[in-house]
Amino acid sequence: MYFQRRWIVVSNPGLCALISKWLGTDAWIRDIDLIMGLRDHVEDAELQQQWKMVRRVNKIRLAEYIEAMIGVKISPDAMFDVQIKRIHEYKRQLLNILGIIHRYDCIKNMNKSDRRNVVPRVCIIGGKAAPGYEIAKKIIKLCHAVGETINNDPDIGGLLKLVFIPDYNVSVAELVIPGSDLSQHISTAGHEASGTGNMKLLMNGCLLLATVDGSTIEIIEEIGKENMFLFGAKAHEVATLRAKGQARKVPLQFSRVVRKIRDGYFGSEVYFKSLCDSLEGSGDFYLLGNDFASYLEAQAEADKAFVDQERWTKMSILCTAGSGRFSSDRTVGEYAEKTWRIEPCRCPF
């Protein structure tokens, strides 16, 4: 997956140049462990300012793409909150959408003075569903329906936007990943075998909001949980929670947002009925209701951190500095040494 060469050197040349400048060498492109040297400069105000500028340029580029492709105008000053992956129930794009509905509902019911304290957020979802996967297609439809409502509500203005990236692919990822502030990796614990999208985003200085699942566990070891926003049931708790079935308690906020969908607030209530049914009682196999309150708390922590741009930028730098472990260079090197028992040779070209 040649992470740093594809996802920084090619996709994010501004960040590539900045890293080389502060490390005093571009050797990190070949020896990824050198990227940890950014930790030595994380408190430097000049690096922080330059880091923010590179990220802003990438956000402007992504904003221009979204306006051209989707027709939604977004501000680069907002937090760009992304979830880009295959549409699947266990990956819980639906949890993300329910959280967006809750956020919309809260803003809608605030008075104007309170709205001044809301962190503007652009929620970006991208991914594809298998042709025969009916629930996944309904999740995509719901995303469009919710986005249509929010994006055209004059009461909300620029405080919240929701866009679904059409025909998401690697070329589009090269725009989205460098321009992302926060990335969601929110699979029900125990269902994500590994996951590599979070590694690409981490390397580009994007902060992660995640369950303790898949490769997120290894990322925690590298950058520390204090530089992430973690939530939800742990893998060893899932079976017990499922066994409770109808006895599981869900927060009132969760019931409220599901009811808004069921009652047709976003249209197509008949079409979304089965989707709502899958969220209630023992039908909620992927524990969206159980994790909802914890998810909202993690989102609130992300808002709080984003307001403090110095803190956010330091966290972003530390994400990049701690991403070297996830380069395929390390993986291939370990296989060569421990499994294949071969030694590197100098390229003749």
Residue (of 103, 256, 87, 100) closest to 163 by Cα position:
100
Asked if residues 277 and 283 have their Cβ atoms less than 8 Å apart, the reply is yes
* Confidence tier at 349 by pLDDT (50, 70, 90): low
The residues, any chain, with a CB within 8 Å of residue 328's CB and separated by 6 or more, are 1, 2, 3
Token pair recorded at residue 18 = 């900045």
Side chain identity at residue 225, one-letter code: K
pLDDT at 242 over 70: yes
Extended strands (E) in the chain: 79-84, 121-126, 160-165, 182-185, 207-210, 229-230
What are the structural domain ranges in the chain? 3-331
Q: What is the pLDDT of residues 90-134, one digit of tens each?
A: 999 999 999 999 999 999 999 989 999 999 999 999 999 999 999
pLDDT at 330 over 70: no
> What is the rounded distance in angstroms from the CA atom of residue 123 to the CA atom of residue 181?
11
pTM (two decimals): 0.93
> What is the rounded distance in angstroms from the CA atom of residue 291 to the CA atom of residue 148?
26
CB-count exposure of residue 301 (10 Å: 0-12, 13-18, 19+): middle
Of 51-55, 251-255, 287-291, 335-339, the poorest mean pLDDT is in 335-339
CATH architecture of the domain 3-331 equals 3-Layer(aba) Sandwich (3.40)
